[in-house]
Each structure stands twice: as C-alpha cells, then as structure tokens.
Amino acid sequence: MDDLYRDYILDHYKRPRNFGELEPHDMEGLEHNPLCGDELGVHIRVKDGKIEDLRFHGHGCAISQASASIASEELVGMPIEQVGELDADWAIELLGIPVSATRRKCALLGLKVVKGAVTGDNSWPVSATG
C-alpha cells in the first residue's frame, strides 16, 4: 500500500465527488496554484445559513483533487459561519495522509477556494506552512 497514493485518494482523484458546475449559485471562488498550474473553482448554494450544495471544478494533481473531493462531502450541510473557522489541520486530517511541505499547498487548495468564496478573503493560508 502506497503511503501517499492510497486507494481512497486515487478513488477520489479519478471519480471526484461534487465536481462540476452548479447553476444558480450564491457564492463562487477561483484559485490558481501558480507553482503547478493547477486551477480550482467552486460554486456554492446557500440555504438557511448552511451550504445546501457545492461543486468544485478545475484541474490539478491527485492530492489537490482528492482533498477537494473529500472536503466537499463534509462541507455540504455545514453552517456558513463555520467555514471561516476551518483550519489547515482540518483539511490535512480529512485527507488522512502524510503531506510533505511541498505538497501542502496542493492539500489546502480546496479549502482555500471555499474560504475565499465564503469570506471573500483570498489570503488564507498566509504561508505554505501556515
């Protein structure tokens, strides 16, 4: 069994959950990872203060795609104000694999685009290790 490319990671990479467009949507975000050329966008529909539905779109490596896919399953139904409190540990723990410093950006890209869409703050996380 590979430490990084575990079966469920590759499964989420090859068959990402909640991927595509969502029309109409209430919030949207788009982020690039300039180092790898990855691009990840999100559409979010909100109802009663909660994420009613969410779709990611774009392309990237197995780690960034799997991370977004796994997170999407947790994010649907989550109260909007809770999104601002989610931190890097939340995303890394969900992913469940050892992430090296260079792949950390990949692992956090999904949460970064969601936080940007919800809070309007595109600066999270402040640094690759932050």
- Residues that bind another protein in the complex, under the rule CB under 8 A: 2, 4-5, 10, 14, 34-39, 59-63, 103, 106
Rounded Cα distance, 125 and 121, in Å: 10
Which is nearest to 105 in space by CA: 17, 9, 37? 37
CB of 27 to another protein, least distance (A): 24
- Which CB atom, from 13 or from 118, has the smaller least distance to another protein? 13
Local structure of residue 8 (DSSP, 8 states)? H
- Which CB atom, from 51 or from 106, has the smaller least distance to another protein? 106
Bridge-partner residues for 59, per DSSP?
A: 39
Rounded Cα distance, 73 and 113, in Å: 15
- Which CB atom, from 100 or from 122, has the smaller least distance to another protein? 100
92 within 8 A of 107, measured Cβ to Cβ: yes
CB of 55 to another protein, least distance (A): 20
- Which CB atom, from 61 or from 78, has the smaller least distance to another protein? 61
CB of 71 to another protein, least distance (A): 18
Length of the chain in terms of residues written: 130
